[in-house]
Chains A and B, each alone.
Chain A
Amino acid sequence: MKQNYKLNAQIPSGSLDEQWTNYKSSLEVISPSNRNHLDIIIVGSGLAGASASSSLAELGYRVKVFCYQDSPRRAHSVAAQGGINAAKNYKGDNDSIYRLFYDTIKGGDYRSREANVYRLAELSSNIIDQCVAQGVPFARDYAGYLENRSFGGTKVSRTFYAKGQTGQQLLLACYSAMSRQIGKGRIKMYNRHEMMDLVVIDGAARGIIARNLVSGELEKHTAHTVIIASGGYSNVFFLSTNAMGANASAIWRVHKKGGGFANPCYTQIHPTCIPIHGNFQSKLTLMSESLRNDGRIWVPKNIEDAINIRTGKQSPKNISEKNRDYFLERKYPSFGNLVPRDIASRAAKERCNAGFGIENNDTNEGIFLDFDHAINYYGLEKSNELGINNISTDTIRSYGKQVLESKYGNLFHMYETITGDNPYNIPMKIYPAAHYTMGGLWVDYNLMSTINGCYVIGEANFSDHGANRLGASALMQGLADGYFIIPYTISDYLSKFINNKNEISTDHEEFHKSEKNVRHKILKIVSKKGDISVDYIHKHLGHIMWKYVGMSRNKPGLYKAITKIQELNHFFWKNIFVPGNIKDGMNYELEKAIRIADFLELSELIAMDALNRNESCGSHFREEYQTKDGESMRNDENYKYVSIWKYQKEKSIKEEIMYKEHLIFNFVKLQTRSYV
């Protein structure tokens, strides 16, 4: 395994709290009159892409933005429910930049870069102020000040929220800032366009090939630099909390052009999703983790009760307190229901594997998230506040329900429309599901990939979260990257084009080559006239990934996964059926097929990466490496690195070579991660 593949992380020197400030002052700036000669392409209009595009356009650069939906406002950031962290210490619970930094490093199981994480914590407060100024209606307390709640993995209350629709409100704010710039003509927006390839000229990113999803035509776009903000790849599991169109294609094309892919196996499994109901299910729905603030997680203590609940002979409401196993509170008393996601997910799986699952599906997988206590507790508090004694339990409960309604109303409504059950009266059923990918394209401190001039921001990059992401920190990262980091670091790169504009024409042979390859691939797909649908392949891939590369992994399973994925890939290229031809215009089946072809390759790499990592850390749990209590066992001596995979031109995925970025911890001491 080689050590020197242009992997200088560019980490600035100095103490943690000075690094970013000092570094910024060393970066080149470009005078306003020179900026409008410089072109930037941004792929993606989620929190990362939208915040970056509005900031860069406002600075005066010429920006082109691409997204596959019909409007930038629909990027999947819109679905984030719970909230966004910031170290504001408004609640006086001793929060600080350092504490947010420390929680994030520890939560990520010491597999992230100190300098990046500190910068993120440092910028977090600015994000809230920025968003308030843009009109984000964050929750307020009765005195009019910003409200907070807490999330998994922390002991302080630092999560800002807008009911259960924080992501939507944050995205609408960036989208409106972006719309303002589109209106002014500084951003050119390409809706319903998908990036098909990155064009690299003389070692630097100089444009993309995009497909107009309405006309089906391929287009060439040049720029001085390309920013990828295309989100995560959890859809490789088929059933996930991601949007149906979420894909890895943009980052995978960059990877194939030389972008190192970091930590592909770190996939976060979110503990609180609605369990699977049937074979035709297309999508899993998240119930925000913030519900764990008030909901208690349990399964029956006795296996017979679990069986009776599954078969409908017993209602969970009739299981007495002493026959319930609040397993998170039992195992992790100091964090209880608020342990980090990886810990909560594994504990749920362990109980279901032991036969205590309560959902009536094929695998009996499901646990309860119960709000009964909270309803009584808040009801009583409210009655005390109003100074009423001697009121009926029904009135108390109705007060309690009102409090929950104001906190989580839309989530409860959503649960009820999907399942038909009313969670105010009967406990919610939940189970872990694939949710977020900590892996992604490798970037240095400037957020530049291993390809010159190709930047990667938001969930698409690997930075900041290590092996596990704490709740409410992805939104924070997306916005920090877009609003506050990329505008500085990119100007340093762009400054070299000032004296030499170095415009590139779309007639350059690299553009022709890329376009030809894309066209060839599409033709290859539509010319197969097999009998298998794209969805069939995707579902099948999802099964393999969830079974062998999901919440826990082991060596023989990973070998099996690799073989099965290779077979499936082969099967795909032989038997797929996609209607139409290249000129047919809008063709959803073709869009899906292109994305699945990329997922098939990426999934092999994910399994290879999981196989390489002979330790358990964060969301990566290798069954061979666990303590006798079933907790994960890290191996810092040998695996304290980021794994970075380099594609070998024209060769199969199994030939990829792994490089390492050794992580250096100067400011925190590595400890066993305990939440007991």
Chain B
Amino acid sequence: MTAKQSLNFTLNIWRQKNNKVNGYFKTYKIYNISPDSSFLEMLDILNNQILLEKKEFPIAFDHDCREGICGMCSLYINGRAHGPNDLVTTCQLHMRNFCNEETIYIEPWRAKTFPIIKDLIVDRSSLDRIIMSGGFISVGTFGHPLDGNLIPITHSEADKAFDAASCIGCGACIATCKNKSAMLFVAAKISHLSLLPQGKIERKKRVINMVNQMDKEGFGACTNTRACEIDCPKGISTEHISFLNKEYITSCL
């Protein structure tokens, strides 16, 4: 295998100490990055340099699993949530997708429902509150329900519910939407639960409660720009939004 050429970048990164002070972009240069490094590994390397220079705090960014599944990483990279590639989270983005000497802009998710905590970290607890308002099936947790096989579910229905359920709650859909709408996130949950026989019983109450909570949190309205679908790392389709709208209208009748 031929040795892969290492890469250099100019990084413009949003720095903000906390929610009480203003933030600003700061420029950093970074050299000799392997194309096989992930985006976050590149930031690790930069942070190590910043740390040992002892002049400022390393850049704070959220991450945990680094496998594309926990939904913790965020980052708005060159104007796109989770960066330039489709269907990946930031932790699954690799530097081979950038050109040598490229200038990269890195910003936090921007939405008033996601207040900045520090640098690139935002508070996404509004999404948890939407789930609390109804994103569940109200069954006891004591292990006495029916045998799992007593209510057959067709392969395609189970698959559809699964696809909706695969939302990782990252908030990219909101960050990227010009209205800062949380429709895709909410719609995914509504579809997941309403498509399954177990979730159908509470479907009316659920959709009304969740939509109300979404409004109460201050998320914007959906005007069908479909930016959310493009930046969603899990490929959640805007068809679910149509489904949500239908559910909502019939529930309000």
A residues lining the B interface (CB < 8 Å): 51, 54-55, 58, 69-74, 76, 78-79, 88, 90, 123, 126-135, 137-146, 162-163, 165, 168-169, 172, 175-177, 179-180, 182-183, 189, 191, 214, 243-245, 277-278, 280-283, 285-286, 311-312, 360, 413-414, 417-418, 420, 483-484, 487, 531, 533, 535, 577, 579-580, 585-589
How many Å lie between the Cα of A262 and that of B151 in the bound state? 42
Instruction: Report Cα–Cα, A312/B2, bound state, in Å.
Output: 8
B141 touches A137 (CB 8 A): no
List chain A residues, Cβ under 8 A from B2: 312
Contact A73 B58 (CB under 8 A): no
Query: A163 vs B58: C-alpha distance in the bound complex, in angstroms?
Result: 38
User: Which residue in A58, A69, A144, A282 is a CB contact (below 8 Å) of B155?
Assistant: A144
Q: Determine if B253 is an interface residue (Cβ-Cβ < 8 Å).
A: no
Q: A69-B72, A179-B135, A183-B133 are in contact. Are A282 and B44 (CB under 8 A)?
A: yes
Q: Are B65 and A76 in contact (CB under 8 A)?
A: yes
A531 B125 Cβ-Cβ under 8 A = no
* Cα distance, A139 to B163, chains bound together (Å): 12
Which residue from B67, B93, B166 sits with its C-beta under 8 Å from A414?
B67
Stretch from B45-53, B173-181, B223-231 contacting the other chain: B45-53
Beta-carbon contact of B162 and A137 below 8 Å? yes
B7-15, B142-150, B238-246: which lies at the interface? B142-150
Answer whether A531 and B52 are a contact pair too, CB < 8 Å, given A73-B71, A76-B65, A169-B165.
yes
Question: What is the chain B residue whose CB lies nearest that of A72?
Answer: B128
- Minimum distance in angstroms from B98 CB to a CB of chain A: 14
Most buried by B among A131, A283, A312, A580: A283
Is B211 positioned at the interface, with any CB of A under 8 Å from its CB? Answer: no
Report the separation of the CA atoms of residues A41 and B88 in the bound assembly, to the nearest whole angstrom.
Answer: 36
By the criterion CB–CB under 8 Å, are A179 and B128 in contact? yes
- Are A143's CB and B152's CB within 8 A? yes
Q: Is the CB of B87 within 8 A of A168?
A: no
**A172 and B51 within 8 A (CB):** no
Assuming A79-B69, A180-B132, is B152 touching A139 (CB within 8 A)?
A: no
List, in ascending order, chain B residues with CB within 8 A of A417's CB: 68, 85, 88, 92-94
Q: B60-77: contact bitstring with A at CB < 8 Å (1 yes, 0 no)?
A: 101111111111100000
Contact check, B66 vs A243: say whether CB atoms are below 8 A apart. yes
**Interface pair A140/B152, CB less than 8 Å apart:** yes
Q: Tell me the minimal C-beta distance from B215 to chain A in angstroms.
A: 17
Chain A min CB distance to B185 (Å): 12
Q: For A586, what are the chain B residues with a Cβ–Cβ distance below 8 Å? A: 18, 60, 117-118, 121
B44 surroundings in chain A (CB, below 8 A): 280, 282, 535
**Considering only CB atoms, which chain A residue lies closest to B123 in the complex?**
A70
The answer to the question of B139 belonging to the interface, with a C-beta cut-off of 8 Å to chain A, is yes
A588 near B141: Cβ-Cβ < 8 Å: no
Within the complex, the shortest CB–CB distance from A144 to chain B, in Å, comes to 3
- Would you call B142 and A280 a contact (CB within 8 A)? no
With A127-B143, A169-B165, A244-B63 known as contacts, the answer to whether A418 contacts B149 (CB < 8 A) is: no
Verify B36–A277 contact, CB threshold 8 A: yes
Which B residues are in CB contact (< 8 Å) with A418?
38, 92, 94
B68→A145 contact, CB < 8 A: no
| Chain A residues within 8 Å of B166, by CB | 165, 168
B2 to chain A, nearest CB (A): 7
New A-B contacts (4) at CB < 8 Å, excluding given A134-B137, A135-B165, A585-B18: A74-B64, A74-B72, A137-B159, A140-B158
Residue of B nearest to A168 (CB): B69
A138 touches B148 (CB 8 A): yes
Whether B196 and A137, one on each chain, are in contact in the complex, defined by CB atoms closer than 8 angstroms, is yes
B125 in contact with A135 (CB, 8 Å): no
B204 / chain A contacts, CB cutoff of 8 Å? none
Q: In the complex the two chains form, what is the Cα distance from A517 to B210 in whole Å? A: 44
Q: Are A191 and B92 interface neighbours, CB within 8 A?
A: no
List 23 contacting pairs A-B, 8 Å CB cutoff, sorted by A.
A69-B64, A69-B70, A69-B72, A71-B124, A74-B70, A78-B65, A128-B148, A129-B145, A130-B141, A131-B148, A133-B137, A141-B155, A162-B165, A179-B131, A189-B128, A244-B65, A277-B36, A280-B45, A282-B41, A282-B44, A414-B67, A483-B141, A483-B143
